[in-house]
Amino acid sequence: MKAVQFSRYGGPDVLEIVEIDPPHPGPGEVRIAVRAAGVNPSDWKRREGRYRKFEEIRFPAGVGVEASGIVDEVGPGVSSTFVGDAVFGYGEGMMAEHAVLTHWVHKPDDLPFEIAGALPVISETAWRGLDELSVRSGQTLLVSGAAGGIGSAVIQLARVRGTTVIGTASPQKHDYLRELGAIPTTYGPGLTDRVRQLAPDGIDAAIDVAGSGIIPELIAIVGDAAHVLSVADFSAEEYGAKFSRGPPKDPERVLADVARLHSKGLFRLHIEQSFPLEKTAEAQIVSAAGHVTGKLIISP
């Protein structure tokens, strides 16, 4: 089968399309024929070696940690999923024609494969971040970098909780933020004053999903470093803010809940572009540029 791998850290050029034997699921796992695999910033950051201090990689390494597809092999001990079932979830080496899932849920018929394959990382990351900040009804949340995949999920899951959300993005993406239920504003100089005008009673918490070096300003806006969290800036803890990291917490529950929200029309995800497996490097270049609205996917 075809798969994307890399055998050393480096730029997009280290990615290769290789022919390998299909993997087989172990106990408690299933294998899928991949229909869509989500592209995440963690994919290219891992390829560049940014995670090497706290994550061991064995080369050659696969690419991608989330996907949707049709089950074509079931591992020992799996009793509630069968060959032919449509599922989506987590695994390793998802950018391939076949991949093994370690955590998954069944895909509802009204959830397209393209969206399902891009949901796991952003949904679990957003849910975890909101929980770690104890975001609740009646509060006001500031999201820095709100138009990307995680930001889109944070906005919608916070709105379900009854939270008012102010999101930063470039002006051309403000209508998109409004559609998700957020109050948009621009990033950059003057953010504090703009936020003060939009939320005269103050901001209760802030989440940084862009990793743009804005942690000190978010702390000043919120007034308490303990109520500021980043999922992208490793330096957040140096300022007393939180840094939210994996592994996923209770992913099956989160994915099932988000799938139900999608079915009820309370959660949507914009897929900006779909790439074939052979253009995974191009997809990572687009992701790294930092201007994606929603998510990118790979469709083998």
What local confidence, expressed as pLDDT, does residue 247 receive? 83
Quick check: 248 pLDDT over 90?
A: no
Question: Do 103 and 186 lie in a common domain?
Answer: no
Question: Do 144 and 73 lie in a common domain?
Answer: no
Digit-coded pLDDT (tens) for 14-50: 999 999 999 999 999 999 999 999 999 999 999 999 9
Any domain includes 152: yes
Question: Do 6 and 114 lie in a common domain?
Answer: yes
Mean per-residue pLDDT over the chain, rounded? 96
Q: How many CB atoms lie within 10 A of CB 10?
A: 12
How far, in Å, are 24, 75, 144, 157, 179 from residue 207 at the CA level? 38, 38, 6, 13, 19
Any domain includes 130: yes
Q: Write the DSSP symbol of residue 108.
A: P
Digit-coded pLDDT (tens) for 174-209: 999 999 999 999 999 999 999 999 999 999 999 999
Question: Do 162 and 85 lie in a common domain?
Answer: no
Span 238-262, average pLDDT: 94
Any domain includes 282: yes
Q: Determine the structural domain holding residue 97 and report its residue range.
A: 2-119+269-298
> What CATH number has the domain bearing residue 100?
3.90.180.10
Digit-coded pLDDT (tens) for 3-13: 999 999 999 99
Residue 185 in 3-state DSSP? Answer: strand
Closest Cα partner for 294 from 144, 181, 145? 145
Say whether pTM exceeds 0.85: yes
Say how far apart CA 71 and CA 212 lie, in whole Å. 39
